[in-house]
Amino acid sequence: MAVLVDYHCHTDISLDSHAKYLDMVTAEYAAGVRWLCITDHCDTVDWRTLQFHQECLTVAQRELEAYEAAKDRIPRDMHLRMGMELAELIFHPELVGELSSPPWLDFILGSYHITREHGDFHEQDYRDPAFCKELTDIYLRDLQWVADLNYFDVMAHIGYFRRYASWQGVDTGLTLAEHGDRIENILKTVIQNGKGIEINCSGLRDGVGPFPSEEILRLYKSLGGEIVTVGSDAHRPEDAAKCVDIGQQVLSACGFRYVTVFTKRKPEFIPI
């Protein structure tokens, strides 16, 4: 079996996780993962108030401290890396240098979850088709902005808000037929900048499918994209590595022969 990789998971350094660092690493190892990157949230604003989130300034330092405290108890064949999910820079682009520069970081996921106009994608009512279309337009506009800012190694979970719509029985239809030009532009920007995307497997857990969808992964491949990481986006040890094996199979079915890992921000390619 191929080596399992998980380059997107959270511990209690993230506000929305209670998982102890060592518990998460241990659960990932038990699930078969041998390349693991902890990617705690580094959000520049509080998702409820949209006010500046002071704690973002210390996430990288706390990540280093957690790693140092745990490293002697990690099995030797586990490649454990330090990362972060750096998000909501649209509110504070002036912080991009400071937040992404700590030299011990191995990997940065570039994320976007909160709109200026309506707040968090998690909080929206997708049942009004006109509003759903507006949200999709805002999403693609801001994702292009994130791609252009180019501060990350890999763009996180493209199209992830489809999950919240699906909980309300709505398919947002983030399809190439409808939005192909804009999605292609985002992917071309990522590729031209030498960066990559992830296949986020959290949607496979609840039946929505991977983020991005297979057709977007195939488009990325056809445009020359090679850098793809795989992530469970687990926030609890019970979800550690869930569906990353399926994610790796999806990549293989889409024509990718490698999954990417990063050490000190440099990509390395592991055969699937």
* Of residues 15 and 223, the one with the C-beta less far from Zn ion: 15
* Of residues 44 and 111, the one with the C-beta less far from Zn ion: 111
Instruction: State the binding string over 34-73 for Zn ion (x if CB under 5 A, else -).
Output: ----------------------------------------
- Least Å distance between CB 271 and Zn ion? 26
The secondary structure element, H or E, covering residue 101 is none
Report which of 88, 136, 133 is spatially closest to residue 110, judged by C-alpha positions.
Answer: 88
Instruction: State the binding string over 179-218 for Zn ion (x if CB under 5 A, else -).
Output: ----------------------------------------
Provide the residue count of the chain. 272
The answer to whether 40 and 14 are in contact (CB under 8 A) is yes
Longest dimension (CA), the chain: 54
Within 149-178, the residues that bind Zn ion by CB under 5 A are none
Tokens 């801001």, located at residue: 142
233 sits near Zn ion (criterion: CB under 5 A): yes
Rounded Cα gap, residues 195 and 254, in angstroms: 19
- Least Å distance between CB 163 and Zn ion? 11
* Of residues 111 and 260, the one with the C-beta less far from Zn ion: 111
Burial pattern 102-132, b for ≥16 Cβ within 10 A else e, equals eeebbbbbbbbbbbeeebbbeebebeeeeeb
* Of residues 111 and 213, the one with the C-beta less far from Zn ion: 111
* Of residues 209 and 252, the one with the C-beta less far from Zn ion: 209
106 sits near Zn ion (criterion: CB under 5 A): no
Task: Work out which of 11, 26, 111, 260 binds Zn ion, going by CB under 5 A.
Answer: 111
What are 33's strand-pairing partners? 4
- Least Å distance between CB 141 and Zn ion? 18
* Of residues 6 and 85, the one with the C-beta less far from Zn ion: 85
- Least Å distance between CB 184 and Zn ion? 22
Number of residues forming the site for Zn ion (CB under 5 A):
3
* Of residues 202 and 260, the one with the C-beta less far from Zn ion: 202
**Which range in 46-54, 168-176, 228-236, 239-247 contacts Zn ion by CB under 5 A?**
228-236
Q: What is the dihedral of CA 175, 178, 179, 184, to 10 degrees?
A: 70
By CB neighbour count within 10 A (0-12 exposed, 13-18 middle, 19+ buried), where does 76 fall? exposed
Tokens 């469970």, located at residue: 232
Within 76-95, the residues that bind Zn ion by CB under 5 A are 85
Report which of 98, 29, 92 is spatially closest to residue 58, judged by C-alpha positions.
Answer: 98
Query: Can you give the binding site for Zn ion, defined by CB under 5 A?
Result: 85, 111, 233
